[in-house]
Amino acid sequence: MPRDLFALVDGNTFYASCEKVFRPDLAHAPVVVLSNNDGCVVTRSQEAKRLGIRRGTPFFKIKEMARSEGVAVFSSNYELYQSLSNRMMGTIATLCPRIEPYSIDECFADLTSLDEQASDIGRMIRSRVRQWVGISVCVGIGPTKTLAKLANHLAKDYPALGGVLNWDDLAPGRQQKALSIVPVGEIWGIGGRIGERLRAEGVSTALDFARLESRWVRSRFGVTLERTLREINGVSCLPFEAEKPLPATICRSRSFAAETDDVNALLTAASVHTAEAAKKLRQGRQCASRITVFLLTNRFKPEQPQWTLTDSLPLAEPTNDSLELIRTACDIVRSVHRPGVFIKKAGIILEGIVPEGEGIERDLFSADRDLRRARRSRLMATLDKLEERFGAGVVATAGTHLSEGWKMRRDLLSPCYTTRIEDVAVVH
């Protein structure tokens, strides 16, 4: 049986890199991307990092410096980032038999059948993504997912590696050296809190961690960290998952640019969030059995009364029909809304997620419901195709346009070059 071999492909400063793809004038310029409502810095290009701009810095603190240093500042353009992420994943899939997207900017690739060519495949992935998508990536390759992540981490930190590192290409002594320079908290699956506990036990590097007794780790930290220990020592415990398990919930929420008690603004926010979540259900051929809506006051103003207005309703049957889900979400908003309670954040949660077709009861009137369900399914498919062709929001339910007062502040938003016909770049 062939040994497992994984590649971890990760986009470098992904959001900032996406902003540069259609702006060649920014190729070597410092770029930062801001969080929701243009609050603080979430991504920095390498040039911006060299200027000392730190992640999490409030925008108002760097506004003057950005102007004087020629820093290009952008609001988060999730539509653009997701589109380029899809292109990146599709490009990687042309070189690997199976991929497992892990987040918007990284994925695992199965190289088990390509062991002898693994390093060359890694370099081809890096080159092809750069050429076809315009994004720079690093590739880490290893016999476990944890070692592939660690190899990717080293490939990013050491430019001499050319953006690609195959853990198996390192001699045992070099592997030990590499483990000795990686802080224990940077191992995938450990993080800050467990890292602090390990450091208190005298475990400060990945090498220290790799030398621990399996039984001791399990007794002190549990089976999950023991699995990480086995992974760091080359024993694959986390299998490749080409198909993700059904999510327990799908949540969509967002803070408003300004607090509001306007019921139309709250209805619009709930409708938009629900439409986005319903589309995600359809993409996964899934349905939800229950919907929860929550409205929150501003937790950063503790001097004001704090409210959480929420309710949850079951659906007549599991569905991914945007119209049905939006109707139920709006019913909840109307029932929990309180005039004079100013809301800062609204969100929805879809629960009881099942595959399409499950959870539907049959009775004397099933044929009529089946006919109606088929019509609505065709309608949803048509809406999705229109959005895919002409861009998000080209067709929308009336409830998503009741008010503009709920929207995020995005004063520095770039065009949606790949998803909106009016934003397609024009070559003169």
Residue 402 pLDDT level (bands cut at 50, 70, 90)? low
Question: Mapping DSSP to helix (H, G, I), strand (E, B) and coil, where does residue 355 land?
Answer: strand
The residue count for the chain: 428
Residue 415 has pLDDT above 60, yes or no: yes
Give the whole-angstrom CA distance, residue 69 versus residue 53: 11
The whole-chain average pLDDT of the chain stands at 90
pLDDT digits (tens, 9 = 90+) for 349-400: 999 999 987 766 665 566 666 777 788 888 888 888 887 777 666 676 766 6
Residue 167 pLDDT level (bands cut at 50, 70, 90)? very high
Report in angstroms the alpha-carbon separations of 281 from 247, 295, 353, 355, 398: 10, 23, 8, 9, 21
What pTM value is reported for the model?
Answer: 0.77
pLDDT digits (tens, 9 = 90+) for 181-202: 999 999 998 988 899 999 999 9
* Fold match flag (8-168 vs 170-244): no
- The CATH architecture annotation of domain 170-244 reads Orthogonal Bundle (1.10)
β-strand partners of 250: 350
Number of C-beta neighbours around residue 368 at 10 A: 9
CA nearest 286: which of 348, 382, 384, 359? 359
Report in angstroms the alpha-carbon separations of 83 from 86, 320, 363, 396, 416: 5, 22, 43, 20, 9
Give the whole-angstrom CA distance, residue 226 versus residue 220: 10
Q: What percent of the chain has pLDDT over 90?
A: 72
pLDDT digits (tens, 9 = 90+) for 74-130: 999 998 999 999 999 999 999 998 999 999 999 999 999 887 899 999 999 999 999
Report in angstroms the alpha-carbon separations of 257 from 90, 122, 410: 35, 43, 9
Superfamily of domain 8-168: Reverse transcriptase/Diguanylate cyclase domain (3.30.70.270)
41 or 244, which is more confident?
Answer: 41
- The CATH architecture annotation of domain 249-401 reads 2-Layer Sandwich (3.30)
Domain ranges of the chain: 8-168, 170-244, 249-401
Residue 244 has pLDDT above 90, yes or no: no
pLDDT digits (tens, 9 = 90+) for 20-70: 999 999 999 999 999 988 889 999 999 999 999 999 999 999 999 999 999
